[in-house]
Amino acid sequence: MNRNYEKYEDVKRLLAVDCIIFGYENEQLKLLLFKRIIEPSKGRWSLIGGWIKESESAEDAARRVLTYITGLKDIYLEQVKVFSEPDRDPGGNVLTVAFNALIRIEKHSKELIKEYGARWFAISEIPKLIFDHDEMLKVAFEKLRMKATYDLIGRQLLPEKFTLTHLRRLYNEIFQKEFDPGNFRKKVLSLKLLERLDEKDMSESKKGAYYYKFKDVENSHLEPIFKSSIKHE
Amino acid sequence: MNRNYEKYEDVKRLLAVDCIIFGYENEQLKLLLFKRIIEPSKGRWSLIGGWIKESESAEDAARRVLTYITGLKDIYLEQVKVFSEPDRDPGGNVLTVAFNALIRIEKHSKELIKEYGARWFAISEIPKLIFDHDEMLKVAFEKLRMKATYDLIGRQLLPEKFTLTHLRRLYNEIFQKEFDPGNFRKKVLSLKLLERLDEKDMSESKKGAYYYKFKDVENSHLEPIFKSSIKHE
DNA sequence: ACAAAAGTGTTAGCCGTACACCCATGT
DNA sequence: ACATGGGTGTACGGCTAACACTTTTGT
């Protein structure tokens, strides 16, 4: 530690991360919540969090927590915002960095999650959360919507292979509106981010729907994909 | 401090804010940089920063630093991102929250700024900065562009009264392209966020251009204002 | 009269939306 | 044959980009 910095060292503030974990299952966008195991507010629902260690970045801390909880590696992460009001956590002065995480529900370890008293909630059924976690979730969801507007998301949420109807239902959930099937298909395919497989899903229609998968390229867009998805108030 | 939190208290990490201060002067978008007054890297150019005190949020810290430096209150602030790699600052383990700040150059205290060894740099003339400040600036500028795409900015950067040409030049600077004068005018006025004054600026043309000011309402948009401003790579 | 910026009008093309319509096939 | 989701085609409207054109007034 440089000696010029030393006089500021006596600040007593804890550093944490909180993860907003989104998943998609049974045609529903879901959120993974935890029964809090320590006081204060023990037993109430909250986002999963963890302390940032001295030797790691906030991103590393979030990855560590997520791997610990789900058993998955290489989870998609995006910084949402810092929450740092000194009194936001009644248990102490905690600055927290919020992260969005997208995971494939079917791939993670259900045993681990059960062990930690966690449960997946549909977006419409989220209970009241502790502290300022409601606000964190609100900002996080807004950020997810923004991402879905500029990027074609689903790579991290859907199974390896999926139909365009599956993808459309995911977007319907995120924006809480019904996208037109024909227009959605044309728009998505025009992005050339998907690759059609020689295999059909016969479970939902007689004709069968082709499976698609994401191409192995970066999908970065700087223009909105779905102009109408975000509405004026 | 709750006793469940106590065992994590021994983390030695400093908390800081760094401010990316944008201004607009002589038809140029500018950035306020500082000659660093402490080691390491004393004397080199950097963003202005400050420690977060125990009793304040990151936002409060940024506001305090900005007021201290410029003499202004109620500065527009927006959180950009947290930078928390443990080795990002050679002087110590410092987690920093980056903030964008927009200020009116003509209103702030030039004496204070001089006193702190600060200087305004045109965007095209920014020198190499210390540590990861280059990266912070890059992310911050991208964020400013995003904001300008969704919001009509200028309220915090331009003088109280300004012509549409002034506003257009600001946008030209931000997006590094020439907006069509006629189309820009029509688009901006259609937003109904500006109010025309009964006064003209005669300094730039014989005919004179009406001054405008921002209406005293929120200007929040969720759809892009300038669709073409952001280009694919 | 001319130049130069302010401001208005016009047109062509793109894109999103709505919706009609064909396709394939299990019952 | 018909119902159902898969998939394609089309037509209208709104918006943008390009640019021609008018206005104003100091020199």
pLDDT band for position A232 (cuts 50, 70, 90): very low
Q: Render pLDDT for B111-162 as a digit per residue (tens, 0 to 9).
A: 777 788 899 999 999 999 999 999 999 999 999 999 999 899 999 999 999 9
Q: Render pLDDT for A43-99 as a digit per residue (tens, 0 to 9).
A: 899 999 999 999 999 999 999 999 999 889 899 999 999 999 999 999 999 999 999
User: A190: which nucleotide lies closest, measuring CA to C1'?
Assistant: C15
- In CATH, the number for domain A3-149 is 3.90.79.10
Q: Is the pTM of the predicted complex or chain greater than 0.85?
A: yes
C1' of C4 to CA of B145 (Å):
31
Helix (H) or strand (E) holding A110: helix A110-115
pLDDT mean across residues, chain B: 89
- Please tell me what DSSP assigns to residue A79: E
pLDDT at residue B221, rounded to an integer? 57
pLDDT at residue B217, rounded to an integer? 72
Selecting among B25, B106, B115, B204, the annotated active-site residue is: B115
Residue A166 tokens read as 């599956």
Catalytic annotation, residues of A: 115
Location of structure tokens 């002034």: B166
Domain with CATH 1.10.10.10 in chain A: 151-233
pLDDT at A233 over 80: no
Return the amino acid letter for B101.
A
Location of structure tokens 């189309």: B183
pLDDT at B19 over 50: yes
User: B229: which nucleotide lies closest, measuring CA to C1'?
Assistant: D16
Average pLDDT of A15-39?
A: 93
Q: Render pLDDT for A100-148 as a digit per residue (tens, 0 to 9).
A: 999 998 776 777 777 888 999 999 999 999 999 999 999 999 999 999 9
Which nucleotides along chain C are within 7 A of a protein C-beta?
A: 3-9, 15-20, 23-26
Average pLDDT of A164-188?
A: 95
Assigned fold of B151-233: Arc Repressor Mutant, subunit A (1.10.10)
Q: Is-catalytic flag, B115?
A: yes
Tell me the chain A residues in contact with residue B85 when contact means C-beta distances shorter than 8 Å: 57
pLDDT band for position B229 (cuts 50, 70, 90): low
pLDDT band for position A8 (cuts 50, 70, 90): low
Q: Render pLDDT for B153-188 as a digit per residue (tens, 0 to 9).
A: 999 999 999 999 999 999 999 999 999 999 999 999
pLDDT at A225 over 80: no
pLDDT at A160 over 50: yes
pLDDT at residue A105, rounded to an integer? 87
Q: Render pLDDT for B179-212 as a digit per residue (tens, 0 to 9).
A: 999 999 999 999 999 999 999 999 999 999 999 9
Q: Do B2 and A54 touch (CB under 8 A)?
A: no
pLDDT band for position B232 (cuts 50, 70, 90): very low
Domain with CATH 3.90.79.10 in chain A: 3-149
Q: Do A54 and B13 touch (CB under 8 A)?
A: yes
Cα B142–chain centre separation: 11
